[in-house]
Structure 1
Amino acid sequence: MEFCDSMLEMMEDESFISRLIFSDEATFHLSGTVNRHNVRILGTEHPHETVEHERDSPKVNVFCAVSQDKVYGPFFFEGNTITGQTYLDMLQNWLFTSLQADSHDFIFQQDGAPPHWHLMVQAFLNEEVPQRWIGQKGAQDLALCAWPARSPDLTMCDFFLWGYVKDHDYVPPLPTNFDDLKHRITTAINSVHHDMLIRAWEEFSYHIDVARAAGGGHIEHL
């Protein structure tokens, strides 16, 4: 609730949204497993449904950032696990170079995933964008505001981008190797045009209002 109130207050400045960059990672499995946490089966009775998962399914971890005008990415992480160091390397060597090529006055958002909470990542953000980043923070961090723990799907990546990409990637015949999977991901992301981004950003203020109406509770089903 505090985050929603703060965000609405900042959005009174018309230039705020145009400076905001949302970011997120997602995992894509060759098996076609969709790991979005907002995939639910809702009903009035227990469905008695069994969901089978393939253990250790080959996967690729993907990062994207989204502004009002463009999608930055995809960036494919090497290996099966994203660490604080690999995340920091991506920020330093790829993302911030791309963002600064477009503007030096952006506001960067990240969620509370463990790699984002790495001390070196926090130090980098405090130095590079003091008072211009949003994320999980400590008492000494120079963040614009804190990202709420276990937040509902408030960002463009959560309620729009990853669902759009996975809906386009996992169309039969499913990809059979990493090159095919990465090509599909890249093609889907490149197909996101400006009008789609504008409509998605218009949804952001709606999601903020709904989260406030829900008392800060989950809103994915609304």
Structure 2
Amino acid sequence: MRLQDLANDDPDFLKKLIMSDEAHFHLDGFINKQNCRIWGTENPRIIQQHTLHPLKCTVWCGVTAEEIIDPYFFEDDAGNQVTVTGDRYREMLQNLLQPGVAAKPDRMWFQEDGATAHTARDTLTLLQGIFGNQIISRSCEIQWPPRSPDLTAPDFFLWGYLKEKVYANKPNNIEELKANIEAEIRPISP
């Protein structure tokens, strides 16, 4: 695999890699278990009830071998959760990620999945300005494998860990939920 070759060619590759992703955190603690299926010869007649439009926040994080880049919450000026669009994703890249990467002595690599906001032409142009050709994503020289869940640190570790922790004190509102997310990220060590 190309990633293994990069890691073999550069012993510091994993220290230069930013794995990124977004996740939804629902105030009611609902966790989307889309991969959970019940197989059987009879209909188990299970009914799952949940709020049609639950309060939630959408958070982005970048994970490197040495740190977790501060969470970014996709929200409007009033603090309400908004959909991740190409414009909003680029705004996050410019305001949060680009200044931090510019301060690094070595050129970093950036990995993202194939979400539409991530692979829009304007987004990839911005990313190439920040990372050059050191991007792992759909429509890039090094493509992220399609339908490859749980291959990144956010998917494999971070989101599950946070969802286990942030609901422990049963937050009453989105601000408390966001504060819990930020508080639980800080102590995570490399």
Q: Gaps (5+ residues) in structure 1? A: 138-142, 195-222
Residue type of the alignment partner of 1:60: C
Distance 1:18 1:60, change over 3 A: same
Q: How many residues end up aligned between the 2 structures?
A: 183
Deviation at 1:152, TM superposition (A): 2.5
Equivalent residue number for residue 21 of structure 2: 24
Structure 2 counterpart of 1:116, one-letter code: H
Aligned to 1:203: none
Displacement of 1:49 = 3.0
Partner residue of 1:207?
none
Equivalence map 1:71-82=2 (5 Å):
71-78=68-75, 79-82=81-84
Superposition TM-score, scaled by structure 1 size: 0.76
2:94 to 87, 92, 95: 92
Displacement of 1:34 in angstroms is 1.1
Deviation at 1:164, TM superposition (A): 0.4
**TM-score, structure 2 as length reference:** 0.88
Structure 2 distance, partners of 1:33, 1:113, is 22
Partner of 1:217: none
- Structure 2: gaps of 5 or more residues: 76-80
**Alpha-carbon distance in structure 2 between the residues aligned to 1:45 and 1:163:** 31
Would the alpha carbon gap of residues 145 and 34 (structure 1) be closer, same or farther in structure 2, given more than 3 Å must change? same
How far apart are 1:35 and its partner, in Å? 2.6
1:187 to 169, 183, 190: 183
Note if 1:50 corresponds to 2:47.
Answer: yes
- Alpha-carbon offset, residue 15 of structure 1: 1.8
- Assess, with a 3 A threshold, how the Cα gap between structure 1 residues 180 and 41 changes in structure 2: closer, same or farther: same
Q: Secondary structure at the match of 1:22?
A: strand
2:3 to 4, 7, 17: 7
Cα deviation for residue 153 of structure 1 reads 0.9
- Closer, same or farther: CA 90–145 of 1 in aligned 2, 3 Å: same
How many percent identity over aligned positions?
A: 36
> Is 1:161 matched up with 2:158?
yes
**In structure 1, what is the equivalent of residue 78 of structure 2?**
none
Give RMSD over aligned pairs: 1.9
Distance 1:43 1:97 in 2: 49
- Assess if the C-alpha contact under 8 Å between 2:98 and 2:130 holds in 1: no
